[in-house]
Structures are given as C-alpha cells and as structure tokens.
Amino acid sequence: MILDKIELELNANSVIFERGKSFYALFDKNYISNVDLSKQLEKIEDGDKLSFKILNKTELELLETHTLSQLLINSIATPNHKRLTFNNLTGKLYLFTPNHLKISKSKDKEQIFKIVGLEFYIAPNCCLQLNVKTFSSVLLSKQMDFSKKKLKEYPKYTFVHSTNTLKRVLPSESIKGENLYILKQTSKKGSLEKNNIPFLDFSNLNEFKNSKIGMLSDVFDSIKDKLSNYLSIEFKSTVTNNVIRHSNTFDYSKINESIFLIDGIKDENSNEHLESIKEEIETHIPNSKIELSKKENKMGYNVKLIHNKNFYQKYEQKDPYKTSYNIQHITFEDFKLNSKASIKAILKELVIKNDIENKKISIIDWSRYNYKNKWIFGIKSNNDFYFLTIEPNGLLSYEKFESDLFNQNEYYELCSIYDNDNNIEFIVKDDIGNINITKRTNNFTLPEYEKINDTLIKENSKISIKKDLALSIVNEVFENEKVIEFENEIKQIENWNKENLLNCFKNRNDKKSLSKKLRRKQEKY
C-alpha cells in the first residue's frame, strides 16, 4: 500500500520496487525542492517508518540502468492516445486497451469481469519483458484459489472509465464490490484460465494497436515524446553471416495422388463448402483425382472438414480431431476458400505426412544437394533422446536412443552435448561433421514494427483518389473480362472508402496490382 500512497498522496511521478526494504520514487524537481518531505510522509499511514534520501547526480549514475530506465518509463502517466492509458500500480507499469476488457452484458448494464493488461518490465539484464496480467473482479472470487493468500490481503483496484486505467483503492475510499478488481486469475475445473494478447497482428491498424508489438510501438512513441531529454531506448541487432537460403522448388502441379475430401460435419453448408474446396484444389493439381468421400481412403491423401475447437466447446460436443498420418483436418470456420496459400499449405502437409510414413523425402529433391554423408537431427524429451537421420538419397530413419556406457555409437557424442546446457532445444549434425546447437532463450526476434505502424496508419487514412481515377486504372491494369467485372463493382459502391474499393477485388494479386498502380500514380503527381 505504501508504494501507491507515495504516488497518489505525495504526487510522485512514478515508483519502482524491486526487492528488499527500499524503493525509488521519482518527483518533479520544482515540487520536491519546495516541500518538506518529512512532514508529507508523516501524513500517510506508516510514513513515519520510512527514511529517505534525495539522490544527487553522482548517486544517480551509480543506479543500475534497468532501474533508472524503469523509473523514468513508469512516469508516463497518461499519454495522449485514445486507446492506450498507463498506470503505475504498486511500482509496476501496466498497459491497457478497451479491447482487452472481458465484459458480461445484461439488460440493465455491462459488467467488466476481467481486465487484461500488459506489464512493461525491464529485467536486470536490460531485456524487455511484455507479460500478460489479468485483474479479475472480486465478484468472481468463488472461482479463485485463496489457499495461500486470503482475498482481504490482496490489493484492490478500481477501473477509471474516463481514462481506461486501474487505480489503487485506498482504505479511506468506499467502493462497491462490482467495481473492485485484484491481480489474480480464475480457475475452471482445476486449471487456471489464462488470457492472451496476440504477439503481432497487422491485419488492420486497430488489431495492430491491440497486439503486444502495437502496444510496444505506442509506448516507444511516448518515450520519444516525453522522455527524450533523459532516455533513449533501442533494441540490439545481430548480424548473421554466411546465410544460405534454399528456395522451395516443390512443384504442386506434379502431385498425382488421389485426394479424398471427407465431410465431418454433414449439414446443409458443409457439402457445398467441400465442393468449393474441390474446385480450388483442382486448379493447383490438375493431374490428381479429387473426389468427395464418406470415409478415409488409404490409397491417397485425405482431407477432413470439421468445426474448430471453439465450436465443439461452445456446444459441448466431442471434438473429432485426432492426429493422423493419413488425414489433414481443416475447419469450416477458419479455412479460407479463395486463398492460394491455404490450399498449398494443405497439400504441403499431406506430402510431408506421406514422406514421414513412407520414410522418404519427396517434398524436395534431397539428392540434388549432392551430400556425401547423412544428416542427423536430435532432440531430448525428458530423459530420452530421439534422432532423425536423412541419407544422401533422402531416405529417413527414426531412432529412440538410450544413452549409457554400453551403447556408445555416433549418437552417444550428440547426447553428451545436452549434459553441459539445459537450454539446448535440438542439435543438427551435417554431412561434413559440423554440429549445430539450437538453444531456448526468452528473446524474440522483432519485426520492423515502426514501418508496420507507419504503413497501417497510411492505409487507415481517408481515401484520396476519386472513383473516376480508380476506373481509369482498372482499364490500364486488367484484361477485358476483368475490366467489365471490376467496373460494375466499383460503380455500385455507395460508401466510397478504401475497404469497399478493395472488396471489389476478390483475388489478392488483383488487389496488389491495383494498389501498385495507384501508388505509382500518386508518387508521380
């Protein structure tokens, strides 16, 4: 409580507590220079138990980088952004967006029962962590475990609608239970109900802003805007040398296996759905026989249409999905009929499964690499070791290996590597004897989020071209039949905006062609 009182009652810009019996507070210089801090501390409960020291420049320079950085960043109280607001709760920085509120609706009102936030935390090694945290309504207390800590011992927070933030509830405040939240997850059937925030979503600007990377982008904008005189942050980059990139030479049109489409739903829409999928697959693999089937056929590839996991959970039905070498499952709700990438993904998965079952690589021509010796891939699961070996001709073999003194073959050397490091994920031994080790880390490779942010902002801006120009470009870019189709669609647009214009083009490549031409026109003028 003392951490929140320092901020709320003593006008601290931010607070940070890491461990031990001390913490740091950041104040505005003009304020702290004209106030008797001793007397101010006496006004708050347990304030007389605190001793304090105002750090000079030399002492500040001795602070750990991550501590001073976090203290400064925690001072971003309310940035000028419609969706994001920040609050320094108990020395922590949490980021919130309205889209991450879990709301139950009734006739009378809406009740926020969970507030999912993102903790912005700089670790002692100066790595940034974005940890998902859930604040649950005390109305859900019966769904929580208080065996280790009682409900009354948890800090209580209330949601401030005007700023979309949480605020610590002080003892002097009287707030109804429906507006109180604690930092704790609920449980269902003995398991914690964890919440997630997507790492990255760039389908549109709004989804990007609601992802971890989008929220990170806004925090960094605020740091540049408000703290540039004191702090600059950038991520480390690593240069990778001697990269060899192998192109995917697999020709889908050469697949000649029969493909059987199985209806695992069997309603009025599923058969029509499979017919559409059949037509799409036929355009990619004209040499194969594609047909609808009532059951699995072992003389070819099998694709089974089912509902997604959420459907079966919602209607409390048994999920028919099960892993299989012979069947590739697709879901009615998620599979995109007009996506070439989705069709190719199905075909690729079927070929890979077939390769695994037949123990021979066909997805690529392994022999063309002219390897003289085999490649070995190894993993450790619990105390067992598993190895995949690929011969120069592409033949596969799998082996479970038990490492002991009486079984010292070429796998034994690879197993011993795991003895030195618990973070090893898997190992690869190439045809000339090089051993490559892949380790687990807590680090992620970041995309160029600033470019993504800028692109999406521009994409989200109001359309600047006129309908006549769009019709003119359609005539320049497309052939006769498409021109007629697209002209009719464009002329029928009532609400003229980018989304409706792009919706006139069902094919992704057609959208790209139009966009490129439009961009060149705009750059020219």
Write the DSSP assignment of 248-285 as a string of letters. Answer: ----GGG--S-EEEEESS-STTHHHHHHHHHHHHHHH-
Q: According to the per-residue pLDDT averaged within each range, which of 160-164, 238-242, 387-391, 400-404 is highest? A: 387-391
pLDDT-above-90 percentage for the chain? 42
**CA-CA distance, 28 to 44, in Å (whole number)?**
20
pLDDT above 90: residue 134: yes
Res. 126 pLDDT band, cuts 50 70 90? very high
Higher pLDDT, 76 or 162: 76
Domain boundary among 197, 216, 238: 197
pLDDT above 80: residue 403: no
Residues 80 and 12 in one domain: yes
* Contact between residue 117 and residue 96 where contact means Cβ atoms under 8 Å apart: yes
Res. 59 pLDDT band, cuts 50 70 90? very high
pLDDT above 80: residue 80: no
Res. 201 pLDDT band, cuts 50 70 90? very high
Res. 73 pLDDT band, cuts 50 70 90? very high
Average pLDDT over residues 205-212: 94
Task: Write down the pLDDT at residue 404.
Answer: 63
Res. 432 pLDDT band, cuts 50 70 90? very high
Res. 283 pLDDT band, cuts 50 70 90? confident
Burial of 91 (0-12, 13-18, 19+ CB in 10 A): buried
**CA-CA distance, 288 to 243, in Å (whole number)?**
37
pLDDT above 80: residue 162: no
pLDDT digit string (tens) for 435-447?
999 998 888 889 8
Domain boundary among 329, 358, 387: 358
Tell me, yes or no, whether 444 lies in a domain: no
Average pLDDT over residues 193-220: 93
Residues 351 and 372 in one domain: no
What's this model's pTM, rounded to 2 decimal places?
A: 0.73
Residues 49 and 107 in one domain: yes
pLDDT above 80: residue 524: no
Higher pLDDT, 226 or 525: 226
Residues 183 and 42 in one domain: yes
Instruction: Return the structure tokens found at 91.
Output: 């020395």
Pairing assessment for the beta strands 259-263 and 290-293 based on DSSP bridges = parallel
Res. 395 pLDDT band, cuts 50 70 90? very high
Tell me, yes or no, whether 207 lies in a domain: no
Residues 64 and 191 in one domain: yes
Residues belonging to the chain:
525
Residues 288 and 421 in one domain: no
Residue/partner pairs of 43-46 with CB below 8 Å, 24 or more apart: 43/9, 44/2, 44/5, 44/6, 44/9, 44/10, 45/1, 45/5, 45/171, 46/2
Task: Write down the pLDDT at residue 356.
Answer: 92
SS3 495: coil
DSSP code, position 360? B
DSSP code, position 337? T
CATH number of domain containing 264: 3.30.379
List, in order, residues 6 or more apart from 450 with CB less than 8 Å away.
217
pLDDT above 90: residue 251: no
Task: Write down the pLDDT at residue 228.
Answer: 93
Instruction: Count the Cβ atoms, other than its own, within 10 Å of residue 342.
Output: 15
**CA-CA distance, 487 to 77, in Å (whole number)?**
51
Tell me, yes or no, whether 115 lies in a domain: yes
Task: Write down the pLDDT at residue 291.
Answer: 92
pLDDT above 80: residue 430: yes
Residues 183 and 47 in one domain: yes
Render 127-138 in DSSP notation, one character per residue.
-EEEEEEEEEEG
Give me the number of domains the chain comprises. Answer: 4
Res. 304 pLDDT band, cuts 50 70 90? very high
Task: Write down the pLDDT at residue 41.
Answer: 87
List, in order, residues 6 or more apart from 64 with CB less than 8 Å away.
124
Residue labelled with tokens 């006008």: 11
Instruction: Count the Cβ atoms, other than its own, within 10 Å of residue 9.
Output: 16
pLDDT digit string (tens) for 88-106?
788 899 999 889 999 987 6
pLDDT above 60: residue 459: yes
Task: Write down the pLDDT at residue 172.
Answer: 79
Task: Write down the pLDDT at residue 90.
Answer: 85
Tell me, yes or no, whether 456 lies in a domain: no
Domain boundary among 324, 358, 392: 358
Task: Write down the pLDDT at residue 393.
Answer: 95
Residues 337 and 376 in one domain: no
Could you tell me how far CA 86 lies from the centroid of its own chain?
21
Helix, strand, coil percentages in the chain from 3-state DSSP, rounded to 5: 35, 20, 45
Residues 32 and 86 in one domain: yes
pLDDT digit string (tens) for 311-353?
998 898 999 998 888 899 999 998 887 788 888 889 999 999 9
Strand (E) or helix (H) holding 438? strand 435-439
Tell me, yes or no, whether 286 lies in a domain: yes
**CA-CA distance, 188 to 211, in Å (whole number)?**
26
Average pLDDT over residues 379-388: 90
Instruction: Return the structure tokens found at 187.
Output: 């449980």
pLDDT above 70: residue 83: no
Average pLDDT over residues 411-417: 86
Residues 128 and 6 in one domain: yes
Among candidate residues 479, 524, 517, the one with its CA nearest the CA of residue 501: 517
Among candidate residues 399, 400, 395, the one with its CA nearest the CA of residue 358: 395
Tell me, yes or no, whether 203 lies in a domain: no
Task: Write down the pLDDT at residue 78.
Answer: 54
Residues 281 and 179 in one domain: no
Tell me, yes or no, whether 472 lies in a domain: yes
Higher pLDDT, 4 or 452: 452
SS3 15: strand
User: Considering the chain, what is the average pLDDT of its residues?
Assistant: 87
Tell me, yes or no, whether 449 lies in a domain: no
Residues 13 and 113 in one domain: yes
For residue 466, what are the domain limits? 462-524
pLDDT above 60: residue 479: yes
Among candidate residues 172, 204, 235, the one with its CA nearest the CA of residue 456: 204
pLDDT above 80: residue 23: yes
In one letter, which amino acid is 94?
Answer: Y
